[in-house]
Amino acid sequence: MSTGNGSEIGSTEFGSTMVEKILAAKAGKEKVVPGNLVNTKIDLALGNDITAPVAIKEFGRFEVDEVFDPEKIVLVPDHFTPNKDIASAEQALLIRNFAEKYKIKHYYEIGRMGIEHALLPEQGLIRPGEVIIGADSHTCTYGALGAFATGVGSTDLAAAMVIGEAWFKVPATMRFEYRGSLPEWVGGKDLILFTIGQIGVSGARYRAMEFAGTAISQLSMDGRLTMANMAIEAGGKCGYIQPDQVTFDYLKDRMTVPYEAVYSDQDALYEQVFEYDISRLEPQIAFPPSPDNVYPVSEAKGIDLQQVVIGSCTNGRIEDLRIAAAVIKKKKVHPGVRMLVIPATQQIYRQALEEGLLSIFVDAEAAVSTPTCGPCLGGHMGILARGEKALATTNRNFVGRMGHPESEVYLSGPAVAAASAVAGKIVHPEEVI
């Protein structure tokens, strides 16, 4: 159900949302409203092995001797790593040389790295109240920690590396309230898939998406990061959850500098308010060719699979691996299925190793990879052939996303993915437990 709050967007007579407050503060303004154009200071600028090389070449045109702040730039080669070919190796080398020349503190390469949007929160680089840009659309992940975080183009990243600023049109905010208790096997991935299915891939175009309600308060930080990660799949400029005790507990041992949490005012103006009772929600499945083509798992059962992928910046965190391992423990992957498990960071890999999760996957005859985006974007290590079907915990399933344009990708959470790997077809986890 959706409702508007009956007031005109852009009015200065009402309170502000979290995003509006952050942008106002970083722009040196008392208040901003949706539609305003603002130039803001940025707290972090991110690039990867696909987008950073373009930014670095543009950076060279400025003919400057230094970046705006070598501690506020993060470079993570993660998409085509370990390097799959000469071209990807050259891209990684370009980034490495740039990081060395400009003394970039936060440069993370294979063996010391992870998928960027899992790595940065883990390393304590994301703080509430900050403005974070990244030349990758899933930079919106960091809104789970109460930051304004959004993707930008490589040329914007280049300019930011020089001047430490970026410009934005202040987005209107849509509020999503999830009522009820989370059913078993339902997590952040299911909530965000359900939401995208309700409003469509353009339903929040250039809007801030505020996630709230009792169900959100029950989510772990891993589940919250998953939700914010896929705000872009609804067209959102950003997605965020206001900081609470879960946030503070996550940050407690990661923060070395003070931060200030920012909250939406009680009388903040929202473009729309959506309310969902999720107490009976089933695990959700996004059918090809779009993340908004969503059905409950009961309507997806029986679709044969050739590949299952558990990983990515969406669902490659330790909680995801624990859930998948609990489902697949003492079972075998179906002989007609390839199962790929990709821990999102080196730290998650080590933790999964110490907890015995990787042994569970190997015993089940799954393949475990070093951290990489890999198959998510059809990069490598999991490309689909013509006619093959995959179920993945990744975030996109467009035509040709994971390989051949006549292959198909279905999206789910880790529990359904693991169960389906055992069954050889899409099933509810309860069918194999």
Q: What's residue 8's pLDDT?
A: 53
What structural domains does the chain harbor? 39-168 (3.30.499.10), 170-277 (3.30.499.10), 286-428 (3.30.499.10)
Please write the tens of the pLDDT for every residue from 81-111.
Answer: 999 999 999 999 999 999 999 999 999 999 9
Q: Which two tokens stand for residue 185?
A: 């096997």
Backbone angles phi, psi at 176, to 5 degrees: -120, 115
Helix (H, G, I), strand (E, B) or coil at 314: helix
Q: What's residue 11's pLDDT?
A: 62
**Chain centre distance of CA 201:** 15
Please write the tens of the pLDDT for every residue from 378-390.
Answer: 999 999 999 999 9
Please write the tens of the pLDDT for every residue from 116-167.
Answer: 999 999 999 999 999 999 999 999 999 999 999 999 999 999 999 999 999 9
pLDDT band at 4; cut points 50, 70, 90: very low
Q: What's residue 10's pLDDT?
A: 61
Half-sphere exposure of 254 (CA within 13 A, CB side): 17
Q: At CA 144, angle to CA 18 and CA 322, rounded to 5?
A: 165
**Helix/strand/coil percentages in the chain, nearest 5:** 35, 20, 45
For helices 188-199 and 221-229, what crossing angle results, to 10°? 30
> 40 burial class (0-12, 13-18, 19+ CB within 10 angstroms)?
buried
Q: Which two tokens stand for residue 37?
A: 């154009």
Q: What's residue 6's pLDDT?
A: 39
